[in-house]
Amino acid sequence: MTVEILLLLFYLVVIVAASEIFTNAIEILGSRLGFSEGVTGSLFAAVGTALPETMVPLVAIIAGNSAKVSEEVGVGAILGAPFMLSTLALFLMGMAAWHWRGRRGKDEISPERGGLKRDLEFFLFAFTLAFLVAFTPHEYRAVRVFVAFVLVLTYFYYVLETLKASAELVAGGHGVEESKPLYLSLIFKEHLAGVLVQLLVGVGLIIVGAKGFVSSVEGLAGIMHLPVIALALLIVPIATELPEKVNSILWIRGGKDTMAVGNITGAMVFQGSLLPAIGIFLTPWTINLTVMTSSVVTVLAAAWFYLLVIRGRRFRSRSFAVNGILYVSFVAIVIYMIAFA
């Protein structure tokens, strides 16, 4: 067990270092291309750091040793990722804002609200649709395939809407500003090629770190005899969502609230639309009581954040305590189910 713990810590350090490299490159890329903070956070950063958790369900579904375990881990990881983002990730972001309130000069988060509202609306629509289609009979395969196509189209429509809003946001002062020089600037000077190289290095290290972290977590889970569903819904998503959490905390520390929030909500849209579409295509897409509970909690957490947005409330750090409470409540439910199964 000592070796697994040491490996876990090593890969955690790799993920943190990779996230710092990635956020530095993505800020400069967004600035050089003239994109808004919303586009940079919700599209570039969100999709880039979503690669590790995208690979986990795909590998589980396609290359798993057991069909039942593969489907359980695959579906659990697909629906568990938005759960982690809407609960634990948002809570940690709020706590980061509270921790650095002195440095930031405020105890609240101030993202651009238009893009945030758009992210949450697309996510709530796509994720709810993906969740509800699991209750349709398996013989209605055509309905499920149609919903999968709708989910794919929803994400691409979201990308178009986000890009369309970028120019106006940049003109309104929401363009990306470079906070520090590119780490590889000594080698590549000021060329865009250097930005792209550092971006690829960051993404590559994130993938390596996340895969290694997941493998170490799985090894520990085997030693501790944890159920597959607990691994799929609670442990693996925490590991694979680490890049988003670390990126957002780094941006909160630097006062880049729009990118910090967009990094999470943009990943929620990606993982609430494209990944469920893959799950619907490749698996029977059935859910058990545990997965159903996590999905309901996910919708509640996102709906709470959306309610704050449409009511025009300030996002004080304590507002995100609700997301943390929802996460802890679900963990308690899972532990209870395991203990009395």
The model's pLDDT over 71-94, given as tens digits with 9 standing for 90+, comes to 555 676 788 789 989 999 999 999
**Which range of residues forms the domain containing residue 14?**
2-339
The pTM is what? 0.82
Tell me how far CA of residue 246 lies from CA of 21, 23, 110, 191, 253, in angstroms: 11, 10, 18, 27, 11
Q: How many domains does the chain divide into?
A: 1
pLDDT score of 304: 96
How far is residue 153's CA from residue 162's CA, in Å, rounded to a whole number?
14
Mean pLDDT over each residue of the chain, to the nearest integer = 80
Assign 213 to helix, strand or coil. helix
> Chain-centre distance of CA 185, in angstroms?
29
The model's pLDDT over 126-138, given as tens digits with 9 standing for 90+, comes to 999 999 998 998 8
The model's pLDDT over 265-321, given as tens digits with 9 standing for 90+, comes to 998 999 899 889 988 887 788 777 878 888 999 999 999 999 999 987 788 988 999
Confirm if 64 and 73 have CB atoms less than 8 A apart: yes
The model's pLDDT over 204-221, given as tens digits with 9 standing for 90+, comes to 887 787 777 767 766 766
Query: Which CATH number fits the domain that encloses residue 7?
Result: 1.20.1420.30
